């Protein structure tokens, strides 16, 4: 089992749920299931997720952006639907290897684009670190995102698209939505980053309180060893790791879970990633953190509250990875043509995996109408008499 690094603003997916039909061969069905190869399993998943609608789109493409090849997964069952670009978390934690578990229902209503950012996943594997390094800044990667948006608007003949950021992706998404509001029906922030240093303080406080309340002497010892946190000392990977470890252990990343083991399991079965590409995820994450950590710790959107496009925030009520308290306070200060906050009562940071049905419901009920107002969505289904 490959172990994936746990980053400052990580992303995770659900446990895989799939079944293989029983056969009538001489070999018992149970034995066949136990001896299936990764190739056989990924073939089954890929076939089940194949888009066959005549007006659908299913592309896994690399696009030249700012001097390097960057990978996009583009999936939807009707090209007339609005485009939804997802900016993944991490940094360096791609969604493409695990999006097959929750994304398919989105594809009825949106053309969904997952982008492996500079330094992440397939994009990391396709380029040298030397070529990627010059653009590994918040400004450089915001410009990468802008180029992806321009490609999608042109390629799919859309005046506007939806922009969704998750975790670290909200850093890029907030900046891009404020710079080019006319490109977007709405900006959707999931696990919104507001103020990283203040976020670290709140996450640390949560973890220490939980450790003391549960009598976890080992956790208390590790957490008190980095006090005061974050304080004025450098936010090293070691100090960040201690806070992240125990905040995750007490459900601040995924409500009710203590770790991210499920993510490695899910990624192992990805039909879109080779084993070689899976092995590059850790390396891409380390490369991304190395170049972006100093930028990340200074992110502060406390006074970046003006938007020229609608804003929707999806907030997990138990999110301590990117504090739900800070997100709620920030939302109150936002100035936008329209704004909406949706609280997910049984979620922490990984809202789309923790409450996938409710997540989809709010995408359709709260976001989609913003495109339908200008006629940029597929016609609603029409009931027919039998």
Question: What token pair was written down for 332?
Answer: 């109150």
Residue 381, domain member (yes or no): no
Phi, psi for residue 126 in degrees, rounded to 5 = -90, -5
Domain hosting residue 280, numbered range: 37-195+274-372
Q: Is residue 22 part of a domain?
A: no
Say what the alpha-carbon torsion angle 182, 186, 189, 195 is, to the nearest 10 degrees.
40
- Give the strand pairing for 83-87 and 184-190: unpaired
Q: What is the side-by-side strand order in the sheet with 57-65?
A: 57-65, 68-76, 111-116, 83-87, 161-166, 184-190, 311-316, 339-344
Rounded to an integer, the average pLDDT of 1-22 is 35
Give strand ranges (E) for the chain. 57-65, 68-76, 83-87, 111-116, 161-166, 184-190, 311-316, 339-344
Query: Using one digit for the tens of pLDDT, what is the confidence trace for 259-292?
Result: 877 878 899 999 999 999 999 999 999 999 999 9
Q: Is residue 214 part of a domain?
A: no
Distance between CA atoms of 107 and 113, rounded to whole angstroms? 10
pLDDT in tens, 17-46: 222 223 334 445 556 567 889 999 999 999
Quote the CA–CA distance of 199 and 300 in Å, as a whole number: 10
231 in any annotated domain: no
For 233-258, write each residue's pLDDT tens digit.
888 889 999 999 999 999 999 999 98
Please write the tens of the pLDDT for every residue from 293-315. 989 999 999 999 999 999 999 99
- Examine residue 226 and state whether it is found in any structural domain, yes or no: no
What is residue 374's predicted lDDT score, i.e. its pLDDT? 66
Helix (H) or strand (E) holding 21, with range, is none
Asked if pLDDT for residue 385 goes beyond 50, the answer is: no
Q: How far apart are CA 207 and CA 373, in angstroms?
A: 44
Q: Using one digit for the tens of pLDDT, what is the confidence trace for 166-216?
A: 999 999 999 999 999 999 999 999 999 999 999 999 999 999 999 999 999
Of 187, 192, 198, 285, nearest to 235 by C-alpha is 198
Cα angle vertex 105, ends 272, 176, to 5°? 75
Of residues 220, 207, 142, 230, the one with CA closest to residue 179: 142
Q: What is the pLDDT of residue 235?
A: 86
Specify if 18 maps to a domain.
no
Is 137 within the bounds of a domain? yes
Which residue is listed with tokens 């003949």? 157
Which residues are within 8 A (CB) of 53 and not within 5 positions of it... i.e. 6 or more apart?
A: 77, 78
Tokens representing 130? 């030397």
CATH code at 132? 3.40.50.1820
Give how many domains the chain has, as a whole number: 1
Residue labelled with tokens 């994009």: 123
Structural domain includes residue 356: yes
């Amino acid at each position: 089992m490959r172990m994936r690094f746990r980053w400052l603003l990580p992303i995770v997916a659900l446990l895989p749920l799939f079944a293989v039909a029983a056969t009538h061969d001489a070999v018992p069905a149970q034995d066949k299931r136990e001896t299936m190869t990764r190739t056989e399993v990924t073939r089954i998943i890929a076939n089940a997720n194949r888009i066959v609608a005549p007006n659908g789109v299913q592309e896994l493409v690399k696009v030249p952006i700012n001097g390097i090849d960057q990978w996009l997964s583009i999936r939807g069952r009707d090209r007339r639907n609005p485009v939804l670009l997802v900016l993944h978390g991490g940094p360096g934690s791609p969604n493409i290897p695990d999006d097959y578990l929750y994304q398919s229902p989105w594809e009825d209503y949106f053309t969904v684009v997952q982008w492996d950012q500079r330094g992440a996943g397939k994009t990391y594997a396709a380029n040298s670190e030397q070529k990627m390094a010059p653009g590994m800044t918040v400004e450089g990667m915001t410009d990468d995102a802008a180029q992806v948006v321009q490609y999608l608007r042109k390629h799919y003949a859309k005046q506007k698209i939806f922009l969704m950021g998750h975790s670290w992706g909200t850093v890029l998404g907030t900046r891009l939505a404020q710079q080019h509001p006319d490109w977007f029906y709405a900006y959707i922030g999931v696990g919104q980053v507001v103020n990283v240093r203040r976020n670290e303080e709140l996450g640390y406080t949560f973890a220490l309180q939980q450790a003391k309340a549960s009598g976890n002497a080992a956790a208390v010892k590790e957490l008190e060893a980095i006090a005061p946190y974050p304080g004025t000392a450098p936010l090293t990977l070691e100090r960040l790791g201690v806070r992240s470890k125990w905040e995750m252990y007490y459900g601040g990343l995924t409500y009710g879970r203590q770790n991210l083991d499920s993510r490695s399991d899910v990624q192992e079965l990805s039909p879109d990633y080779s084993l070689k590409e899976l092995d590059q995820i850790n390396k891409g994450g380390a490369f991304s953190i190395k170049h972006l950590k100093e930028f990340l710790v200074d992110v502060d959107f406390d006074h970046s509250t003006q938007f020229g496009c609608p804003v929707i925030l999806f907030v997990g009520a138990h999110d301590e990875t990117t504090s739900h308290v800070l997100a709620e306070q920030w939302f109150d200060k936002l100035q936008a043509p329209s704004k909406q906050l949706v609280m997910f009562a049984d979620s922490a940071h990984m809202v789309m995996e923790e409450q996938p049905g409710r997540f989809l419901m709010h995408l359709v009920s709260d976001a989609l109408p913003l495109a339908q107002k200008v006629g940029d969505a597929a016609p609603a289904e029409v009931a027919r008499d039998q």
